[in-house]
Amino acid sequence: MRNSRMLRLSWERRCLRSRRLRRPRTLERLGVSAAIIEDKTGLKKNSLFGTDVCQTQDGIESFCRKIHAGKTAQITDEFMIIARIESLILGKGLKDALERAAAYIEAGADGIMIHSKSKDPKEVFEFCREYRKMPKTVPLVVVPTTYSQVTEEELIENGVNVVIYANHLIRAAYPAMMDTAKCILANHRALEAEDRIMPIKEILELIPGGK
């Protein structure tokens, strides 16, 4: 029984490793040019919850192995793997974030994303300044969801290369959908909602091959 269990676990690990190796190749075939992978383990929790929910950061060596496996598996040189660092989110501080950045770059990461849930960009700017002093760097990515008062020009001045507005479009779309739904419910028809929505012809033409 023990040997059977060991064989089953070994087979499961090989299957898991095989699936991980196929993922970069699948993304490349779909036309994806880059993937951001975060250095947490377990079930996905939104980082902006911070330490209010259970979130576990991966070990540096373990995450470096994942980066290396992804880079080894990719087909083209152009595909990028960007390592997302959660140290500031989880309260582990600047030193841990910089240590991870250096290790992830050595493991083959094509970019570094530093994440923060603070409304003050100070800790992100501090990371940027120290990061640029490192002997080896790659493009730096930020997601200013919580510190939205910062301009792109300020981010560029601090050494940021890529800015991601991760959720603003869906946050804009949801209230609009709610308003339209309420309008239809209130009037028992869609006529009153027509002036606040796209013409059907326009939406159909957005779909490739729809015309």
- List, in order of start, the domains of the chain with CATH numbers: 21-166 (3.20.20.60), 167-211 (no CATH)
pLDDT band at 175 (very low <50, low <70, confident <90, very high): very high
pLDDT of residue 51: 60
pLDDT of residue 6: 45
Question: Which of the residue ranges 26-40, 64-78, 168-182 has the most confident prediction, judged by mean pLDDT?
Answer: 168-182
Q: Does the pLDDT of residue 144 top 60, yes or no?
A: yes
Q: Look-up: residue for tokens 């951001």?
A: 36
pTM, to two decimals: 0.81
Task: Please write down the long-range contacts of 49-56, taking CB distance under 8 Å and 24 or more positions apart.
Answer: 50/89, 50/90, 50/91, 50/117, 51/90, 51/91, 55/86, 55/89, 55/90
Q: Does the pLDDT of residue 142 top 70, yes or no?
A: yes
Mean pLDDT of the chain: 87
The Cα 160–Cα 172 span in angstroms is 26
Which tens digits make up the pLDDT trace of 179-195? 999 999 999 999 999 99
Average pLDDT over residues 88-116: 97
Judge whether 91 and 128 are in contact, CB under 8 Å. Answer: no
Q: Look-up: residue for tokens 């090989």?
A: 14
Which tens digits make up the pLDDT trace of 8-52? 545 455 544 545 555 788 888 888 899 999 999 877 766 666 566
